[in-house]
Structures are given as structure tokens and as C-alpha cells.
Amino acid sequence: MLKISSLRAAAMRPVVLAVSCLAVTSCGTTLTLDEPVPAIIDVNRNSTLAIIADNSIGRDIAREVRIKLHPSDFYRIQPLLHSPAPDTDVLVALSGSYLDCTINYDTSYNHDKKHDKRHDGDRHDRDRRISSYDVRGGVTCRFSSRCTGSSTSRNYYATDTSYYSEFDAHENVIDELSDKIVRDLIPHQSTYSVTIDSDDENPVLEQAAEACKAGNWTLGEQLAKQASANKPQSAEPWFLLGIIERNRRNFARSSELISKAASLQPSGKYQRELRRNSEIQINMQAVRHQLETR
């Protein structure tokens, strides 16, 4: 067995310790929170919606969008037509829709070798066994509002997928593209994450974050206040208290606490979350407006 000399082991020890310390300081507790997301274009509940497409794939996507929008009862959806009615409030125009299919062959398939070698190439092409299909898809959507005169465009792409049936592959890609379009057409809630860095010298901070993660925000606040009292010059307890206030939708107090954290330790994370406080408030107002019945 190969032995490492004591001198070499001593030389390696600081490196091991450094890696260990890096692992400790980089760990933390990730909290998942909700935020409102308005529709991609200014709308109101009960607005009329028309969807048009310039090719057959686009029409398949448009058909799925209409089906998925119906349960929300948010729009009055017009039939699929080549041109929208004059009183259409929201128009969604699909263009450049495509589906690309690549065939994967089973490389382990052995075909009969007892045939004329002069036709090896032709025979190989005929005898290869299809193992699966990879399909990619995309579409460009232009959203227009008659009421506000505003419009915006977005490109949507389906992730590369592998299926054993070409039909299933096409259906799943169309399903994924239509899901993304529907999500942008309706105001909804989205989740995001915030990481609370742990502190070995102040273990109650991690306990506070874990309580919040478990949904016990009241206990989390109590423990976070204890953590801030233990180390008043530490930024992260104040940051956690700011996130707790945000969860209560008390944005003024939340920004005050996060700003205190930023004053103790300048950090891009704190500045980013201060901006998010402003964005959430703007989005809340937008969502409230969009949920009003036209």
C-alpha cells in the first residue's frame, strides 16, 4: 500500500481545512416564497381573446392554448379564425412555429451479415432499429391589447426530449409550448427562493431559518430576533427578519430591515432583494387591476 509521508500529509492539511471551511461558509437554508406575476400584457378579467397562427403547427399550439385557458374562466375566447373580430380585446398571433424531429437508432442492433457485401450500406439503412425520437419546438408570439394599444413579443422553446413514439414526442412538445403561453396570459403566483446563510458562531440563526422553511414564521421571527440580539453587527439575522416581514406583506418594514443588513455588510443579495420588494408591490397592483372584471 502506498504511504504518504508525514511531511506531505502536513503540507496537505491546510488545503483540506480550507476546503472544509469553504463548505461550512457556503451552506445555508433556502426559503421558498410566493410572488404575484401579472399577465404579459395589460388585460382585465372577461376580456375577449383571439388567437391566430400562420401554419398548421401554430394552429395545433393555439388549439391547446384555448383548451387550457377555458378552466380559468379569465377570458372570453373567440373561435379559431384566420383573422380576429373587430372588437377583440387581446390578440395573440403565433408565427414561425416549428417542430424538429431527430431519429435515434439502436446502436446495439445486429443485422444479418449473410448478404451481398456490395449492398451493405443500403441494407444497413433499412435494418437499423429506431430507439427513440428527439423533438425540439418553438414559436414566436405577439401579444396585442386593443384597449391600451400596447404590444409585446416573446419566443417560446420546448426543451429537447426523448420519446419512443414520434406522435407522443410531437404532442408533448406542443403541450409544453402551450403551457408557457397560457402561463403568460393569466395573472398567477410564482415561487422564488431566498437563501439564508448560516453562521457557526450564531446557530440560532439557522434554527430561525429552518422554522420559516417549515412554515412556522412566528417561531422563525422569535428565533431571528434572538439571533440579531446575539450578534447585532451581523447582517444575516436582519436580512431574515426583512424576509419575514415581506412574507407578511409589510414591505416598508421589510425594506427597512434589509437596508440595515446592507449597511452592515454590502451585498448584491441584499440589494437584489430590496429591488424585489419594489417589484412585488408593483406586480401586486398590476394583478389586482387585471383581476377586475371588464
User: pTM here?
Assistant: 0.78
- Is residue 231 located within the same domain as residue 125? no
- Is residue 51 located within the same domain as residue 173? yes
Residue 178 belongs to a domain: yes
Q: Indicate the pairing of strand 28-37 with strand 47-53.
A: unpaired
Residue 213 belongs to a domain: yes
AA identity, residue 138: G
Count of all residues that appear for the chain in the document: 294
Residue 12 belongs to a domain: no
Residue 26 belongs to a domain: no
CATH of the domain at 216: 1.25.40.10
Q: Could you give the CA distance from residue 277 to residue 195 in angstroms, rounded to a whole number?
A: 16
CATH of the domain at 169: 3.30.160.150
Count of domains in the chain?
2
pLDDT tens for 227-272 read 999 999 999 999 999 999 999 999 999 999 999 999 999 999 999 9
Q: Say whether 4 sits in a helix, a strand or coil.
A: coil
Is 240 buried (19+), middle (13-18) or exposed (0-12) by CB count in 10 A?
Answer: buried
- Is residue 159 located within the same domain as residue 260? no
Sign of CA pseudo-dihedral 34, 250, 74, 43: negative
- Is residue 176 located within the same domain as residue 52? yes
- Is residue 178 located within the same domain as residue 214? no
Domain that holds residue 53: 47-186
Count the Cβ atoms, other than its own, within 10 Å of residue 118: 8
Count the Cβ atoms, other than its own, within 10 Å of residue 72: 13
pLDDT tens for 7-39 read 334 333 433 333 333 333 448 999 999 999 999
- Is residue 214 located within the same domain as residue 93? no
> Percent of the chain, pLDDT > 70?
84
